[in-house]
Amino acid sequence: MKLLIELIKAALFGIIEGVTEWLPISSTGHLIILERLVQMDVSDAFVEMFRVVIQLGAILAVVVMYFTRLNPFAKSKSPAEKSATWQLWFKVIVAVIPSAVVGMLFDDWFDEHFYNYITVAITLIIYGVAFILIERRSPKSQVKSDVSSITYLTAFAIGLFQILAIIPGTSRSGSTILGAMLLGLTRTAAAEFSFFMAIPTMVGASGLKAVKFILDSGIPTYDELLILLVGSVVAFVVSIIAIRFLLDFVRKHTFTSFGVYRIILGAVVITYFLIAG
């Protein structure tokens, strides 16, 4: 019965991860509240690793949905198309270099000093306002409608925006989408490139957390592995739904509603923790 309860909790975390990882509303902002409301009966070290590693399930959704497009070895592609796919991957790698370097050096320090409701609430509100202001610009400034039109310099610049996501509450997708739009990408192209950047970024982050956990705490137990598996599978399924929703949404609407939601959530986070103590 105890394990069943923990698996249900893991599924709940997987749902939140699957939804909030791709929508620019901060997975951390939601998880910090969920962790207060739903406490898993496992070690703190496992929880820290769990919240990162279940991102692999979310990442798998991108790989599955864009497999043909991201596969440079697809037999159906012409030599030119295969070359374009390799170019896309090279641009993605260039884009993730800045956050990879900063993350390896300062990730633990930022988690230790900034993983708190005050930081999360402030960043939720700041980037919520940023989305609203950017959407009020003239749409003429957005000229790149396909990720293939991104240059290496633009990819690197988008990667610099991803560094901001090391601060809890920022939202990795939020910072990269905002950066891409400021650099001239349409909403759809910005969202897709953000998805592609997530693959090496989150695989690297998850791998790093898993290795640190094993070095410090040893191999996870059978129950812990099962909890991790359930959270990842649920995150995968929900991520497919969330990604399809976001792409369909941004084709017809702006990101303004997400900005408003972030501001409201930031206010809720502050209010909740002030009252709860």
Q: Can you give the residue ranges of every domain in the chain?
A: 2-276
- pLDDT grade, residue 152 (50/70/90)? very high
Q: Which pLDDT score is estimated for 160?
A: 96
Beta carbons of 167 and 114 less than 8 angstroms apart = yes
Mean per-residue pLDDT, 127-146: 78
- pLDDT grade, residue 24 (50/70/90)? very high
Instruction: Check pLDDT > 60 for residue 140.
Output: no
Q: Which pLDDT score is estimated for 34?
A: 87
Q: Which pLDDT score is estimated for 138?
A: 56
- pLDDT grade, residue 10 (50/70/90)? very high
What value does the mean pLDDT of the chain take? 90
Instruction: Check pLDDT > 60 for residue 134.
Output: yes
Instruction: Check pLDDT > 70 for residue 143.
Output: no
* 3-state per-residue secondary structure call for 103-144: HHHHHHHHHHHHCCHHHHHHHHHHHHHHHHHHHCCCHHHCCE
Per cent of the chain over pLDDT 90 is 58
- pLDDT grade, residue 229 (50/70/90)? very high
Q: Which pLDDT score is estimated for 141?
A: 53
Mean per-residue pLDDT, 208-228: 89
Mean per-residue pLDDT, 91-115: 87
- What letters, b where the CB count within 10 A reaches 16 and e where it falls short, cover 208-217? bbbebbeeee
Q: Which pLDDT score is estimated for 277?
A: 64
Q: Which pLDDT score is estimated for 227?
A: 95
Q: Which pLDDT score is estimated for 208?
A: 83
Q: Say whether 13 sits in a helix, a strand or coil.
A: helix
Mean per-residue pLDDT, 112-124: 85
Cα 163–166–171 angle (5° rounding)? Answer: 90
